[in-house]
Copies of this chain bind each other. A is one copy, B any other.
């Protein structure tokens, strides 16, 4: 994770004393996405897992349906570390065309590259297929502790968001961190996609911060039935989860949590599996 953090000298002021100490910062750098040779977006991200980030972003934006739509992911010929180029198969270009939209996308901020309310409404989040998933509340309560154990960079910088996938037994599958919470989720889903593990209909998504509309939307694109946030959800996050049939949990900490939608998937018992 070395490129994800940088050490800088700072003046630490406490009471009436000032001393120079080293501080570890989360790295934030721009990343430009090029799709089929066209620049489509720029996001501020923490370097690392850039190919996964690109794959997850394109998947969340419905510009690819899966790894089978990707011909190649690479750096440009000049080797720039802040550009990722994705080329799609001819079929993918036909089925998932950004040209269907009126403008270039610059998303990664919660609105899926849509510039108007009309476009936002036309692109409703997909509803989940019915399932009979049941998970124990006792397992849910233990998830943040498992994430913290893996969240190495946040511990040192306090500056990164984390997103993690768990299976229904509460086993940690993957963790990704980023200065942008949307990027952390894109990296996580992109990694699963490149490993041909999507759809994620048998997984739980845990995010270290708040649950916004955009994160719920990204989880729904990946068919994740259960999402939990350590922080608060927004009104639109709850409404979107409710409409799509997703279980949304908030304030998962201090051995308790709130269920905002889809409570039927949670069983309150001592059963650990």
Contact = CB atoms under 8 A, between A and B. Distances in A.
B159 A233 contact: yes
A146 to B, nearest CB: 18
Interface stretch (A52-60, A113-121, A163-171, A184-192): A113-121
Among A82, A232, A238, the one with the most B-chain Cβ atoms within 10 Å of its Cβ is A232
Given A26-B234, A103-B103, A115-B41, A256 B158 contact: no
Contact of A234 (B117, B179, B258): B179
Interface string A114-157: 11110110000000000000000110100000000000000001
A44 B116 contact: no
Given A103-B103, A111-B42, A113-B106, A30 B238 contact: no
A50 to B, nearest CB: 13
B255 A14 contact: yes
A107 B140 CA distance: 35
A119 B83 CA distance: 13
A4 B255 CA distance: 28
B25 A233 contact: yes
Please give the count of copies of this chain that the complex contains: 2
Contacts of A212: 28, 44, 179
A121 B120 CA distance: 30
A92 interface: no
A155 to B, nearest CB: 12
Interface string A86-122: 0000000000000000011111111101111101100
A194 interface: no
A42 B106 contact: no
Interface stretch (A15-23, A65-73, A196-204): A15-23
B234 A83 contact: no
A173 to B, nearest CB: 23
Contacts of A26: 232, 234-235
A54 to B, nearest CB: 15
Contacts of A40: 115
Nearest to A214: B44
A170 to B, nearest CB: 15
Interface of A: 6, 8, 10-18, 21, 23, 25-30, 32, 39-44, 80, 82-83, 103-111, 113-117, 119-120, 137-138, 140, 157-159, 179-180, 210, 212-214, 231-238, 250-251, 255-260, 263, 266, 268-270
